[in-house]
Amino acid sequence: MKPQALNIEIYGADVVCASCVNAPSSKDTYEWLSAAINRKFPTNEVTFTYIDIEQPIENERQQDIANRIAEDEFFYPLVMINEEMIGEGYIQLKPVYAALEKYGYVSK
C-alpha cells in the first residue's frame, strides 16, 4: 500500500526568530528539511511549501497560522504536515521523521 501524499508547510520570515538564537533561518530550514526528507524518503510523494509570514497570504488557513505566529502563539519556523503542527522554533529531524512514519512512510 502506497502512503498518502503529504503537504509539508514551513512558515517563516527572513528575520531569524528572536527566541531562536544561532538557529538557521526559516528559508534555510525549509531547504534543509526538504533535502533531508527527500533523501530519507525518496520514493514517497511529499509537497513542500514555504509560507513567508511577512508577505500577503491568500489562503485563509495559512493566514490564520501566520497571524498566530505574529501574536507570539507560535515560534517560527513552524512546520506542519497535513495541517498538524510538528515543530516550531528550532526544528529537529526526529519528530518530523516520526510524523512521516506515522503516515506510513518508510525510509530507504
CA distance 85 to 33: 15
Domains of the chain, with CATH numbers?
Answer: 6-103 (3.40.30.30)
**pLDDT value, residue 19:** 62
pTM of the entire structure? 0.89
The backbone torsions φ and ψ at residue 33, rounded to the nearest 5 degrees and listed phi first, read -65, -45
Checking if the pLDDT of 1 tops 60, the result is: no
pLDDT digits (tens, 9 = 90+) for 73-83: 999 999 999 98
The H-or-E segment that residue 16 falls in is none
